[in-house]
Amino acid sequence: MKQNNQEKLYKSAIYALAFLWIFTGLTSIYFSPEIGYEILASANITGSMAAYSVYAGGTLDIILGLWLLTSIKTKVCCIVQVATIVLYTLILTVIDASFWLHPFGPITKNIPIIVLIIFVYSSLSKTKRV
Instruction: Find out whether 39 and 92 touch, Cβ atoms under 8 Å.
Output: yes
Query: Is residue 42 over pLDDT 90?
Result: yes
What pLDDT is recorded for position 92?
96
Reported as a pLDDT band with limits 50, 70 and 90, residue 1 is low
**CB within 8 A of 99, min separation 6: which ones?**
92, 93, 106, 107
Reported as a pLDDT band with limits 50, 70 and 90, residue 128 is low
State mean pLDDT over 61-84.
Answer: 98
Distance CA 112, CA 48 (A): 33
Residue pLDDT, tens place only, 81-118: 999 999 999 999 999 999 999 999 999 999 999 999 99
Query: Is residue 123 over pLDDT 80?
Result: yes
